[in-house]
Amino acid sequence: MSSALPKVIVALSGGVDSAVAALLLRRAGHPVEGLYMHNWEDDEQGYCSSAQDYQDARAVAAELGIALHRVDLSAQYRDRVFAHFLAEYRAGRTPNPDVLCNREIKFGDCLAHARRLGAEWLATGHYARIVQSPEGPVLLKGVDPAKDQSYFLHAVRRADFSRVLMPIGELHKPVVRELAREAGLPVFAKRDSTGICFIGERPFREFLAQYIARTPGPIETADGQVLGEHQGLAFYTLGQRSGLRLGGQRDGSEAPWYVAAKQTQRNALIVVQEPGHPLLLSRTVHTADINWLTTPPQFPARVTVRLRYRQPDQAAVLSAADEGGVCITSDQPQSAVTPGQSAVFYDADRCLGGGVITHIAL
């Protein structure tokens, strides 16, 4: 006898969150199968954990009694995510590959593969919520504010959310771990993944130097005093305070230094010692083309905005800019706003969409 509920493919990553997503859907009576995405060729040094993650996904599937499929999307990931990642760093910007991976791979190729496997729905372990409304899918923040991942999902095409489930979006992380423990899932205590698979636990600069040539130049204060030499503007991000190797300066303050600006024409890195220095602050931010997850608002529009992950919502006004972008004017000056990162807009818990930051103004 066939189930009255539709078949769901769960993107099993080998972590506790997707494992509990599969557990909850199975308990609800859905026919459930797992799908493991292989997105990166394992490196010889073993920094990428994908081999272990796949074994963990197999163990979860075995415990739940569900089939596990595997799809190799590493070529697509390199072409559409990693190539963009390197191009942005070479241009002096700081991209967020997780945003592009969600749009192009997880809710692009993976979703299409799940449909080819006969699933009506794709489920993931994201801490966010999707509500299907007559106007279209609505993306909401996850209930757990410490784990909300709506920021990383803002660039997904709205139509692609029409067949997506996020079962743990209503839960807090400790509850998810307890559900996994009670069900005997072998990953209940597995550490959360941090960062990006292709970098792993290695030093970021070490990884980037494999693909981007070092182009040394001066490290200067805001008034032009040369303090040292940087290894290349691509290896630094605005607001960074570690890895500058400046230390205290003779006859100067022992306070830490912060990256405040990159002057690409001169290949100069500008640093300051005050976290509230004017060079670190901006009130106006411009973005590229916006991916709207709702009907675009009439401008000017008052919203809240996040200019980086885990930032508390900031009150701001949106106005139209060139080529589908927007100009964001924040009520309060924002620190270390970084081109290449995403500006994501909210109305209370609802994610309205967002776009990549192109430039800022003081």
Exposure b/e, 115-151, CB count within 10 A at least 16 = b: eeeebebbbbbbbbbbeeeeeebbbbbbbbeebbbbb
Structure tokens at 307: 């200019």
CA distances from 200 to 43, 50, 134, 193, 196 (A): 10, 10, 42, 9, 6
Number of H helices, E strands in the chain: 9, 18
Query: Considering just the CA atoms, what is the radius of gyration of the chain in Å?
Result: 22
SS3 88: helix
Which of the residues are catalytic?
101, 197
Give the residues across from 320 on adjacent strands.
326
Question: Would you give the distance in Å from CA 61 to the centre of its chain?
Answer: 26
SS3 150: helix
Beta strands in 238-308 (DSSP E): 258-263, 268-272, 281-287, 291-292, 301-306
Exposure b/e, 233-264, CB count within 10 A at least 16 = b: bbbbbbbbeeebeeeeeeeeeeeebbbbebee
The number of C-alpha atoms within 13 Å of 213 and in the hemisphere containing its C-beta is 2
